[in-house]
Chain A
Amino acid sequence: GAVVSQHPSWVICKSGTSVKIECRSLDFQATTMFWYRQFPKQSLMLMATSNEGSKATYEQGVEKDKFLINHASLTLSTLTVTSAHPEDSSFYICSARFQGLNTEAFFGQGTRLTVV
């Protein structure tokens, strides 16, 4: 099956610094990728839809200036957590779907961010 890869798998950063998370579709082109956030023992919450070559679409309540999304190519989307705070500590997961109808979504392995 198709593979979506995230990097890094885990990262620890100091409060006030920025962290970039990469999401790559390894064997297919993804014009759209999705970023989710998962708190411990909770479900995945959609943060934003990343569109190649255009601005991301953010869900209500998600600060676009804090969570910067760039989708510069058909195989790479990045999520940058700016001026990170401890409450940003979470598990971030990206996803991509094939174009067309009734297609499954493929998920990255996730990135665990810890802000200290």
Chain B
Amino acid sequence: AQRVTQPEKLLSVFKGAPVELKCNYSYSGSPELFWYVQYSRQRLQLLLRHISRESIKGFTADLNKGETSFHLKKPFAQEEDSAMYYCALSGPGNTPLVFGKGTRLSVIA
């Protein structure tokens, strides 16, 4: 079964502190992993995906197949990073995304 687990509902950090949002997944095969972000009153938007291995807004995420994890990291949190973050996976091709429950990140000045 496909499953995405985000263990933290809420994560509060001080500005300038490192951030790690945890994501573990369950999937038989080779999934595509994504991080989506939802800022207040805005639609979901892609933050990054494992296949591109890029850094967006200072965030990175490495797919660890051994630990079935795709944790999101940023070395220095900014206030504008406060948002809801969703980890998601999908199978290959035009298949729907399965979302974790989301983690609300609150960056405190």
Contacts and interface: CB of A to CB of B under 8 A. Distances in A.
Interface of A: 31-32, 34, 42-44, 46, 49, 93, 95, 97, 99-105, 107-110
Contacts, number: 50
Contacts of B88: 105
Residue among B43, B98, B99 having the largest count of chain A Cβ atoms under 10 Å: B43
B29 interface: no
Contacts of B32: 102
Main SS of the interface on chain A? loop
Interface string B84-109: 00101010111011111110000000
B11 interface: no
A46 B101 contact: no
Contacts of A107: 36, 43-45
Contacts of A110: 43
Contacts of B99: 43-44
A100 B94 CA distance: 7
B96 A43 contact: no
B96 A46 contact: yes
A101 B95 CA distance: 10
A95 B45 CA distance: 11
Interface string B3-36: 0000000000000000000000000000010101
B44 A93 contact: yes
Nearest to B38: A107
B49 interface: yes
